[in-house]
Copies of this chain bind each other. A is one copy, B any other.
Amino acid sequence: MAQEARQARNASRQVAKLSAIQKNRLLKDIAELLKQNTAQILVANSQDLDAAQGNGLSEAMIDRLKLTPQRINAIAEAVLAIAGQPDPVGSIQNIERMPSGIQVGKMRIPLGVIAMIYESRPNVTIDAAALCLKAGNAVILRGGKEALHSNLALARCISAALEKQGIDAAAVTVVPNPDRKIMQELMTLNQDIDLIIPRGGEGLIRYVSDNSRIPVIQHYKGVCHLYVDKDADIEKAIKLLENGKTQRTGVCNSLETLLIDQAIADVYLPKVVELFKAHNVKVHACEKSMSQFEQGGIDVSAATEDDWHAEYLAMEIAVKLVDDYDQAIAHIETYSSGHTEVIATENYSRAQDFIRTINSAVVMANASSRFSDGGELGLGAEIGISTSKLHAYGPMGAESLTTEKFIVLGDGEVRS
């Protein structure tokens, strides 16, 4: 991979110099070619699907792998949406004159070369390539083995678009032999790769974080909390719980723990029981709330320490009655995964304090945790979610794939 990474580095210099118009023309060509080549992409995808079925991959895995004309169209539309976004590079933050006479500003620039390490979804190939190009970067895409034919077919559309615009094809490199060794080698190439973004299970992300010499964006898990304060609006708090837990369970921004102020439990808890009954939600309850769930006929067990750390990704939730607001804060600070936390309250001071105190990537008052997503938060497309505070924190759009350099405009000034 060393040679490919060096070529990507060289190509990144060309991509960095493209104007917004040139980059958007390239993205439009990619979208166009995806639509034109739908038939060929589906043929490649069916090869992957056949192999997946032969290898006994799970229904869920196969669904993630599967492309359809509608899905390919949606992928192309996402590329067009990225083309429509403002250009993240080139802007200069307020140039100020220093006492020495020099003028100093900061200019937003691409990171350089980004490596994506991901699993089965072929749409990541296009999403990541489009976002990286939009931000002026070259990208090395190391997808899952099970999606290789699909990824290569998608890569051909990208190469053709690059070629049409006269851009070095090494600007987007799809690794043609995505084995573990390649991944290990990638992680050592810190001369030519500036950032690694792993997307997939916790094991993959931890492995990359622990072994990479290149900075890594970490996204472990989402143990999102909803705290229902004693001054919550009951109807809103039920809607937030229903949406956060039941709308889509397999995603990192769904709720995993519900904290209820004891003072409101009498009125709130019966409605929770009703809701969980309707959606067949399994509960891991604290001692104090246990009996209410039992009496309501809910599938309930006693919450253990593990439950407060758990990301169920299923119709399953941990529930705890807390003595007061401070205990809720302490619980969240102990068990938070740094992803998203929500307070339901009509109390101004506690809403303010929660927003200030909780330092997860996304902190909400009276809104569903399901909004914790690049699209919903206004970033356009999303390349990942960072739960570590360095460089980027929370959903990452194109701007997170850039950095800022200092620029100095002088007239021969020297330091005395």
Contacts and interface: CB of A to CB of B under 8 A. Distances in A.
Interface string A85-106: 0000010000010101010100
Interface of A: 13, 16-17, 90, 96, 98, 100, 102, 104, 107, 109-112, 194-195, 209-210, 213, 215, 233, 235-236, 239-240, 242-244, 247, 333, 355-357, 359-368, 370-372, 376-378, 388-391, 393-395, 403-415
A367 B403 contact: no
B415 A370 contact: yes
A241 B362 CA distance: 49
A85 to B, nearest CB: 14
A414 B239 contact: yes
A411 B368 CA distance: 10
* Interface of A (DSSP majority class): mixed
A396 to B, nearest CB: 11
Contacts of A100: 371, 376
How many chain copies does the complex carry?
2
A390 B240 contact: no
Given A109-B359, A355-B107, A390-B215, A242 B407 contact: no
B407 A98 contact: no
18 contacts: A13-B333, A98-B371, A102-B376, A111-B389, A112-B359, A194-B388, A247-B415, A359-B405, A363-B406, A363-B408, A366-B413, A370-B414, A371-B415, A372-B408, A377-B406, A389-B403, A390-B390, A395-B406
Contacts of A215: 215, 388, 390-391
A409 B365 contact: yes
A406 B369 CA distance: 12
